[in-house]
Each structure stands twice: as C-alpha cells, then as structure tokens.
Structure 1
C-alpha cells in the first residue's frame, strides 16, 4: 500500500535530492503552477478532464467516475510503465490529494511500484509556500546591484552564480526582464510559480551571510516581490555600476534580440511612444522599421531609460553615485564586482559557504 507524506517530509527528501516528485494533474494545471522540479505524468489530458468535469456537473458523480475509469483503463499499461522507468523514491500529487493521486498510488502499489502520495496535494504545497513567505525572517544581508539599463547586471550575477556566489536572479524567476520590452522572447511566470521558485532560492541560501540580487521595482512583469525582500533590499548595501553606452547597447541587443522579435518589439515601443518627445519617437520608430536596432536602442537609452533611472536612483542620496564601479567590458565588470564583494565580506568578517537544499 502507498504511504502518505507531509509537505515537511517531502521537502526534506527534495533537499537531499532523494526523490522524484510527479504531478499527475493535467498538462494545463502543471503549466499554470507546480512544485518546483516536478515532472508531469498526467492522469487525464486537458480534454479528458474537461469531459469528465462536464459529465460530473450535468449528469452525475457516478457517471463521471465510470467515464473516468473507462478512459484510464485504455491507457493504464503505458501510464504504469512511465512510473516503472523512474528510479528511486517517487512521490505523486494532484490538486488536493484526491482521486487522481490516490488512484495512481493504489494502482502502482498493486503493480509492485512503491510511491508516496503528498497529503493535501498541490493546494497544501501552495498554502505552505504562501505562509512561509509571509512569515519569512530573512537573515542574510541583501547586496544590491544597480545600474542603468544595459549595464549587464543580470549577466554579472549569472557569472557570479557560476562561481558559487549566493545569487537570486529575480528576473529569471519572474520570466520577465522588468521593462516594457521585458517579456519579449520569454515565458512570464505567474505569482504562484514565482513564489515557489523564490522560496526555493531563499531557503537554499538561508544560512548565507549575504545574497546578491539586482535592483528591481516591487513589480516584475506579472509578479510582485514579497514585502520582506523589499525591506531587505532597501537596507543595502548597494553597488552602482557604470558602463559606456556602446557596451550597454551591445548588451541589450544580445539579450533582447529584437531582430528575432521585430513585431513584438515595435508593439512594445508604441506603448511608451507618447512619453517621448515627438521627433525622437519618430526616429526611434523609423529605426526599428528599418531594423537599425542599435540606433533605436541608443535613442531609447538617452531619452527614455536613463532619465527615468536618474530619477529613481536619486532616492538613495548623493553618496550613492559618488563611487560607482566603472568598466569597459563584461569581464572587467565581473572582476571588479567580485573584488568589491570580497572587500565587503572582509570588512564584515564573514565568509560565504553556500548551502544547498531546502530542508
């Protein structure tokens, strides 16, 4: 017989990389939000789930169950085989630990395949994630990278993370770069997915003396940052980056690839067109239509993004802008930021020892 498992026990096993978590909900439910790291082996397809739901509402519960059994019986061998091919510990879940996960676990048990079933399903996980974030007491200091659009903050953090630094890429977790163009070429995440991914990262680094993030507003695309993180961000320390405009333009073109998303880029620009002086706006639009994206980006930086950033950064006071980290290349940027972080750490007398796992 299968064994129910609590959120706490599941997280302990996940933290040890000692379990495969399997979402047996439909593909659309899985795509909307799931437990991070899960794989999807759906009990019903979206169409089958919709059909059974209609029968349940319009006919009867018993008829819906009979139709569900009929559908599942035909594909049971292939369904079981997929689980049999997964080695090690396995845990299944559906929306609230009901029929789909219980039936899956029971059938697998009859076939000699042991699985855990998450008590309460995804709904219990979501409740745990929300409550944990709401009551989070974040002990690491938050070191914040600032800089004009195109400075390469995300790339710098990516390279530092590859070196083992405790980095949380908020834009990556949101699936959005934070600007009007930020969702182009990316899959934006909803709040449920963002919360789950953010919580994973925070718990991974919870014993670190500091965490590195990029300066972001409260909202990134579709998601909102939790209040505790905003408060920690405001407490600093803050690092200001300065790069030549040519490098910034090159960074933006490499990240956004407007030539591959010409129509969406133009549509995004037209949403902010009215905020830019008319002759400049016309030149930007003409440059985009002629695929002279380097010129369009240069003008957007000079007449839209840089003035907006200057206003935003003014809230940090004059001292903030007195000692920026200046660089000519991204390699130099990483080197200088890394050195600055080491100096901050040395001054505080602490040493980073990245802890993995979420248990």
Structure 2
C-alpha cells in the first residue's frame, strides 16, 4: 500500500527539432545508429501492432507495413509455398498499407520533415517505407539493425548508466508520504526517478491500478533507459526505496544495486497521518469493496483464513480506518522493517524527517526541507574531498 497519484506519465520524451523554413535536400545517410535516434523529428515503427505493443522506441508512432494477420500470412507462405510467392503477396500488402499511411497518418507532414524508420532488424519492412519517403523528398533514415539493435543498446546501457548517478533514497513505512513527497520534489525542480510511475503499479499486494495494465518488462526497461539518459549525473536524483520487483516487473540489477548503495533519508509520520493518506490514495478500492476483499486473499498464505475473514468483515462494514491501521500493524510495517535494514545498509546513519500532515502543503514543506538537507550533505561531502 504505497501512496500514489495519477498514472501513467511519460518520461524522457523525444523532443522534436524545429523545421527549417528552407527546403533541404535529402543529404543525410540512409542508415543511422541508436545514438542518433533523438536527432529526428519523428520515429516511425513499421512493425505490426502486436510487436509495437510489447515494446518500442519512446514516442514512436506505429505505421505498420504489415499488420499482425498479414505478417502471419506472409510467414506461412514463405514456409509452405515459396519465398517468391511470399514476397509477391507481401509486396502488394505493403504497398497498400504505405499508401494508406501517406493518405492518413502522414498526410500533414511538411516538406522538411525528418523521420526515422525502423522495423525488427532494419531490413525489408523499414526499407519499404523509408525508400518511399525519401523518393517523395523527405529526409528519411532507417535505424541500422532495427528494434533488435535498439534493444541491445537498452540492455547494455542499463548495466552502465546507474553507476555514474547520485541517488538519494526516500525510505519510510507505507503511508509515510514517499510517493507524494517525490512528486512535490519534482514540482520544486528536483531530479526524480519515479519507478512506480514507470511501472504503473504501487508496488504492493494492493498496488494494482484500476483499469491500467503494467507495461511489458521490455517496455519498462525502455522507459527506464530514456529516463536515465535524461538525468544530469552532477545533480542528486531522488528515488523511493523499492523491492526488486514492482508488481510483475523486475528492476534491472545495476539500477537496484546503485539505489541500495546510496544514502538514505527516512520519512516518518504519525499513524493517523498515514491512515488518512492511504485512505485517500486507495479511494478506488474503498468504492469497490469486493475488489478489495479479493486482493486481501493474496495475504492468506501469511495470515490464514481467520485473519483474512476478519479483515474482509471490516471492509464489508466500511470500517476502513481500522482496517488500514490493522494492515499497517500486522503486515506492512513488519515487512518493511525486515526488508529495509537488510537491503539498504545506509539506513542506519540516515537523517529522519517528519511528515506532519497529509495535505499538499505539508508535502511541499517536507520536499523543500529535503532539498535543503540534500544541499547540506553535498556541500559537506565536497568539503571532505
């Protein structure tokens, strides 16, 4: 039951460059590398919608040259008929789809538009659209190696990027305000890495968000990649203490290791403040007690049917304040206490800061105090060097 705010939100977005008012010749290389991705006005993923849904370059639009069904048809023809027949039928499908995209999705692009096109491996599918766009006069390029090369870059960089970043970890029991304070820090101009936001999950048994599915593991890693690349390594980055998994998603090993080795700040709050905050954050479950009771079943292996039945009865009676209090006392606080000292060794010497209320003003006040504390710590560290 980690405190939350609306989801999802994008991060590390590509920033389109302004178009020149003068017409420019098609003078850029046809093939470019992953390092050049953010130099283009728009990124076009020509893979099928199913491939696109699993993972993609951030902010890419999907203009499939073959949809999922067409891709299956062509693949079957290639195996059961002949490569020639597959290419003949596939070419007709590709031509129709490219024409449709030019007449719809791409119809308003101006003459100086610079798109980057990619498919699975940087082969025929991306070539087909890229060649047409260049013949029209647009400065189109193809991502060499396609999505596969992009994915390899993500994996390699996620093993290296966290090493050079300076994290400051917000620790504290459930309801102590970590997530909302993180949001307040961002509003004050601080650098923030919000892992739960990227994972679309609150990181607990009750953390599933209503009507919002978690991204795939690959897409989660893509979002992390874009966000980490956008961070300034010379500035502090605030992040919550997390377990290795957020819902169904695994935090990359290098990132979780860097976070757990970082200095910590402990947030505390009175039980009444924590309960009030959690009742607000989990209002959607209070409006759907049957869903709440269903999720409580996930704790049955730890507490047995009798205790779960008691908690369900409290939910049925609308006794949510006492239910949250009991869940904190019986489950969340002991679990946090066991985990935090084992996984965050810097907690033993961490400063403690108190959240005095659950309102936005209190969050803002604590965020500003955290920034002052962070600045003092950095000055002291630099003075010791």
TM over 0.5: yes
Residue in structure 2 matched with residue 114 of structure 1 by the alignment: 139
In the alignment, does 2:193 pair up with 1:168?
Answer: yes
Match of 2:243 among 217, 224, 228: 217
Runs of 4+ displaced beyond 6 Å: none
CA distance change for structure 1 residues 169 and 62 in 2, over 3 Å: closer, same or farther?
A: same
Do the aligned residues in 1 keep the contact of 2:158 with 2:255 (CA within 8 Å)? no
Do the aligned residues in 1 keep the contact of 2:64 with 2:97 (CA within 8 Å)? no
Match of 1:276 among 286, 295, 303: 303
Correspondences of 1:323-334 after superposition (within 5 Å): 323-330=352-359, 331-334=361-364
Match of 1:305 among 307, 332, 335: 332
Match of 2:124 among 59, 76, 99: 99
Match of 2:261 among 215, 235, 238: 235
The alignment yields a C-alpha RMSD, in angstroms, of 2.6
Higher mean Cα deviation, 187-196 or 107-116?
Answer: 107-116
Do the aligned residues in 2 keep the contact of 1:139 with 1:206 (CA within 8 Å)? no
Displacement, 1:70? 2.7
In the alignment, does 2:168 pair up with 1:138?
Answer: no
Displacement, 1:161? 1.2
CA distance change for structure 1 residues 225 and 289 in 2, over 3 Å: closer, same or farther?
A: same
1:286-332: CA deviation from partner (whole Å, max 9, x where unpaired): 23345554443332222111121122234448845873424223421
Correspondences of 1:320-359 after superposition (within 5 Å): 323-330=352-359, 331-349=361-379
CA distance change for structure 1 residues 67 and 286 in 2, over 3 Å: closer, same or farther?
A: farther
Unaligned stretches of 5+ residues in structure 1: 351-359
CA distance change for structure 1 residues 99 and 272 in 2, over 3 Å: closer, same or farther?
A: same
Distance (whole Å) between structure 2 residues aligned to residue 149 and residue 179 of structure 1: 10
Q: How many residues are treated as equivalent by the alignment? A: 345
**Secondary structure of the residue that 1:167 maps to in structure 2?**
strand
Match of 1:195 among 221, 242, 245: 221
Residue in structure 2 matched with residue 152 of structure 1 by the alignment: 177
1:122-147: CA deviation from partner (whole Å, max 9, x where unpaired): 10000011111223363232100111
Residue in structure 1 matched with residue 17 of structure 2 by the alignment: none
1:200-253: CA deviation from partner (whole Å, max 9, x where unpaired): 222211433311100001222222223332332233321111223333333334
Displacement, 1:32? 0.3
Distance (whole Å) between structure 2 residues aligned to residue 291 and residue 55 of structure 1: 60
Higher mean Cα deviation, 239-248 or 253-262?
Answer: 253-262
1:256-305: CA deviation from partner (whole Å, max 9, x where unpaired): 41146555433321111231265432121123345554443332222111
Displacement, 1:167? 0.2
TM-score (norm: length of structure 1): 0.86
Residue in structure 1 matched with residue 273 of structure 2 by the alignment: 247
Distance (whole Å) between structure 1 residues aligned to residue 145 and residue 315 of structure 2: 51
